[in-house]
Amino acid sequence: MPGGLVAHTRKRPTTMKQLNVTRHLAEGRFTSFHFWMLFFACVIITFDMYDLVIFGSVLPILMEKWGISAAQAGLIGSSGLVGMMLGAMVFGVLADRFGRKNILVFAVVLFSLATIACALAPTPVLFAVFRFLTGLGIGGILPTIIAMLTDYAPKNLANRFVAIVMCFFSVGGILAALVAMAVLPHFSWHAVYLVGGIPLLLLPVMARYFVDSPALLIARGEENKLRSVLSKINPNTDFSSVALTTEDDTQAEESSSPVASLFKNRRALATLMIWVAFFMCLLMVNGLNTWLPGLMVDAGYALNSGLTFQAVMNVGAIVGTLVMGTVADKIGVKRVLVPMFAIAAASLILLGYGQSYLILLLLVFIAGACTMGPQNISYSFVSQYYPSHIRSTAIGMASGIGRLGAIVGPTFGGLLISWGASSQMNFLFFAIPGFIAAAAFLVVPIAKQKQKQLSNSDTDASHSEALLPSR
């Protein structure tokens, strides 16, 4: 926990009625404030992905303009992914220390300005530097947004909030393709990068719905700011005459480092298993996104069929994310993640065997729904598992470790194909990370609701599943 969170927490008058903000928000209903918070989170994620993938649309132009080789182009592309990995880790920690609103605003400004700078870059080296800075900002968005949504979402909607936001990564990719098709025939490549600066214009409006965690606002003595937010969520209630508390208020300081706190209070096993699961998830997802058409061609199908399979897999990802988010709100996140990753692995194995075309399409759809769908929902799992004061750090570190898997995935697929193994063996090897991810989530310890009042409680009462390492 940030040192300031404990040092500045003040004793509240015992004569005032107390309101546990965490429980109040959890038991609340969906309001217009939640809608606009979710809406602008989706807008940011859309441009987050747009700024990342638009590089692929202009790459042929840049290679011709600057005379760069495919290897050099690959390094430029990788600079953005490395930036994302570091940004998720660094900004996740900073958000827990200095507040999510400040870091989220900074990350939006950074990736927007860096994207505009890409349009003005005169050389490949500077372009790569700006791509790296863009990735830094993009990496910092997800940990702060998901943690913020988890802090304020009603408990019966928390997973759906995350599911909806994660689907807008796909929307960003679609937007990038549409903008490239509309702009490039009539304008230079610079124009598509300038579009990436639109979030800067929206930031003054969006920032009104960026909010620090209730625990941090109380710890800083900014109860009036929190009362203002609560009044927007529930305008019919008078919060001026109550003392505000949260579940984090009574927690002792665990460590001066939020990262070290991920391993305190018997969280070490859970943290390591979550990192393993994220690495395996993104290895499988990115490897398949890169190599599925090639794998299907290698299995004897035409290239157009391979591209169709890829499109079906991504449609399955969107459907799977939305369905699993809804189901997770009803039965719990872990009960969704473990079987879905196992089903994903099984469907990939079956893809290696000659079935009818329609059955293969169904298997690809299931693979997409059960790989990318659970991967998206796993961010919600992490967000709910850890207490609010290290929530952004937990998401950022898991995301950063996952990005290593994303970088390894395409190389993993390339090695498989270069070995000349059968299509059955190729799909089997891609299925193995799915089984490992399922096993990793399976062994993450979950405590029951009644254990939430332990002396060093890690529960967030805003979630009925009360995700918490066993003591």
| pLDDT at residue 338 tops 80 | yes
- pLDDT at site 216: 86
Average pLDDT in the 442-464 region?
A: 48
**Rounded mean pLDDT of the chain?**
82
Angle at 253 between CA 252 and CA 256, to 5 degrees: 175
As a whole number of angstroms, the distance between CA 17 and CA 411 comes to 59
Rg (CA), the chain: 23
Decide if 461 contacts 309 (C-beta within 8 A). no
Average pLDDT in the 425-433 region?
A: 86
Average pLDDT in the 436-455 region?
A: 67
As a whole number of angstroms, the distance between CA 91 and CA 255 comes to 18
- pLDDT at site 302: 62
- pLDDT at site 457: 32
- pLDDT at site 222: 85
Average pLDDT in the 395-408 region?
A: 89
Residue 463 Cα distances to 228, 255, 347, angstroms: 23, 24, 32
| pLDDT at residue 463 tops 60 | no
**Nearest 10 degrees: Cα torsion 329, 330, 336, 340:** -100
- pLDDT at site 304: 59
As a whole number of angstroms, the distance between CA 168 and CA 84 comes to 17
- pLDDT at site 2: 45
Q: Residue 64 — pLDDT band, cuts 50, 70, 90?
A: confident
Percentage of the chain exceeding pLDDT 90: 34
Percentage of the chain exceeding pLDDT 70: 85
Tens digits of residue pLDDT in 370-386: 888 888 889 999 998 99
| pLDDT at residue 467 tops 50 | no
Q: What is the pTM of this model?
A: 0.81
